[in-house]
Amino acid sequence: MDFMLLVAFLVLGGVVGFAAGLLGIGGGMALAPILALLFAHQQMPAEVNVHAAIATSMATILFTSVSSLMAHQAKGNVIWSIVYAMAPGLIAGGLLVGGGLFALIDTGWLALFFAIFVAYNAVRMLTRKPPVAGTGALPGPVGLFGVGMGIGGLSGMVGAGGAFLSVPFMVKKHVPIHRAIGTSAALGFPIALASCVGYIYSGWGLATAFPHMVGYIYWPALLAIVCTSMATAPLGARLSSRLPVATIKKIFAFILFILAASMAWEAAKAFGLIAR
């Protein structure tokens, strides 16, 4: 890996960490498309690079979720009974997708799915209002297992921590928004852990095709991104009350549209619609 690529990974981690702290979002949506471009520049095989970008993005959540969890726990905002009830389903969904389905999906379809996912979340960022509290109660253990499995599986497919699904779900079930966010931070760790175990299992042996891979996870990028993102996320959080976050969200949503288009371009190349 050349020096400039290392610098790119460090800068990317810093920017994404700052945005995550400022806007309260996960970095996976922004990380994966840019990593796919950087991996392509590094001449990673086309049939691997989108998978590696998503898996490496998810691996960063192993680290960032812990710091986020500790901050929310210090404020008493984590409902551990929900975490314990949903964790088995989250783990099952993450293992099922990361360890099997993820590797079976063709690069083109995976890139297209991710592009649609990112574009959808950009639209939500522009139009979404704060979740409205519902009146329904949380389902029982079986229901929470099923919900957790769905959240874990979809998160494992796109390299996200699951907050985009778990927070609205809990708020609709009459969980206060600040406690839903705190609990979601705790749910991110089992999602990331199970998914990463799956990515390593399903991608085992890729190091022979491309160096420095552990399964689908490219560890030099992971380490560089984690170092800077964990340093800048607290800075973004501290500035969130001083900066015009609503305006910044609009700018970030615009960037997400560009990144979605980038991933759609990767899909088009994989389908042979565009010359590589």
pLDDT for the residue 144: 92
pLDDT in tens, 119-148: 988 888 788 766 565 566 788 889 999 999
Q: Has residue 158 been placed in a domain?
A: yes
Q: Has residue 47 been placed in a domain?
A: yes
pLDDT in tens, 62-99: 887 787 778 778 878 889 999 999 999 999 999 999 98
Q: Has residue 173 been placed in a domain?
A: yes
Domain of residue 241: give its range. 3-270
Q: pLDDT exceeding 70 applies to what percent of the chain?
A: 90
Residue 26 pLDDT grade (very low, low, confident, very high; cuts 50, 70, 90)? low
In the DSSP assignment, the letter for residue 273 is: S
Q: Has residue 136 been placed in a domain?
A: yes
Q: Has residue 212 been placed in a domain?
A: yes
For 199-225, give the DSSP string: HHHHTTTGGGTSTTEETTEEHHHHHHH
pLDDT for the residue 84: 94
Q: Has residue 276 been placed in a domain?
A: no
Query: What is the value of pTM for the model shown?
Result: 0.86
Number of domains in the chain: 1
pLDDT in tens, 257-275: 888 898 898 888 888 887 6
pLDDT for the residue 221: 92
pLDDT for the residue 133: 58
